[in-house]
Amino acid sequence: MSDIKALLEQIDANRAELANYEMPSAARERFDADRRLSVIHSTTVIEGNTLTLQEARQVLEGYSVADKQLRELWEVTNMNKAIDFMEANLRTPLTEEFIKQLNAIVMQNINDTAAGSYRFVNVRIVGASFSPPSPQELRVQMGNLVAQYNSELYLALHPVERAAKLHTDFVRIHPFEDGNGRTARLLMNSELRKHGYPMISINARIEYLKALETYGMSETHEPLVMIITQEVLNEQKLIKEHSLKK
């Protein structure tokens, strides 16, 4: 826990320091586009998307990519739209309706029937040793998740800890037929952005999946806090390297 505390203090110190740096507008536009591409590519790859980083860039630029499933192209396009929606609603309170809207965008043109609607079937998480709740139970648990998020106990956590807990609590419920992981990472990044931290990519896939499994079994979200914090530190370093002191 002491290591986490030190890392959280470091990212807060970095955030304060970065207030004294800025990028020229043209450089900022290119930098933001590259970092968004990294976020989109990493979150779709975790779910099995086979597009390379360059192919994902081509899709976002409106070019066709040969020999790929249409679903994979929509996954990239939809994540880009979902980030737009997330960024436009950073001041919107977290509600079940907001979460459903995120998932609806993530699953647009992939599974329009189920997109944005809580599942009516039981599901299994491949490789997980815990089972998500039944369709009846998940509706109660999603209400509890939002209520807990707005509770004093939740608000007392550091924003990075809140981002990790929101992510893990949501994944454990797995409320949608598909797109749960991508939706969870959008919720995580939304929480980071609300508090002045950059969006992050999840690059350590194996460690990330292990962290989710650890939470599923013991409700310990510290491993995911460590991963998120390290990724925030990486992003902050990149921002500083591409910026000039005011």
CATH value at residue 224:
1.10.3290.10
Say how far apart CA 135 and CA 120 lie, in whole Å.
5
What pLDDT is attached to residue 72? 98
Q: Count H helices and E strands in the chain, helices first.
A: 11, 2
> Which of the residues 41, 174, 221, 242 is marked catalytic?
174
Q: What is the tens place of the pLDDT at every residue in 55-71?
A: 999 999 999 899 999 99
What pLDDT is attached to residue 216? 67
SS3 176: strand
How many domains, in total, are found in the chain? Answer: 1
Q: Which residues contact 162 (CB under 8 A, 6 or more apart)?
A: 149, 154, 155, 191
Residue 77: which of 36, 118, 129, 133 has the closest Cα?
Answer: 36
Q: What is the tens place of the pLDDT at every residue in 111-150?
A: 999 999 999 999 877 666 678 999 999 999 999 999 999 9
Provide the residue type at 216 as one letter. Answer: G
Contact 37, 60 (CB under 8 A): yes
What pLDDT is attached to residue 229? 96
What pLDDT is attached to residue 1? 54
What pLDDT is attached to residue 202? 95
Q: State residue 195 phi and psi, 5-degree precision.
A: -115, 20
Half-sphere exposure of 193 (CA within 13 A, CB side): 19
Contact 212, 224 (CB under 8 A): yes
What pLDDT is attached to residue 2? 60
How far are the Cα atoms of 35, 122, 166 from residue 171, in angstroms, in the given order? 24, 14, 9
Q: Which domain holds residue 106?
A: 2-245
Give me the residue label for tokens 């609603």.
89
What pLDDT is attached to residue 221? 84
| Residue 21 in tokens | 């740096």
What pLDDT is attached to residue 142? 98
Active site residue 167: no
**Residue 118 gets which letter from DSSP?**
B
Q: Which residue positions in the chain have pLDDT lower than 50?
A: none
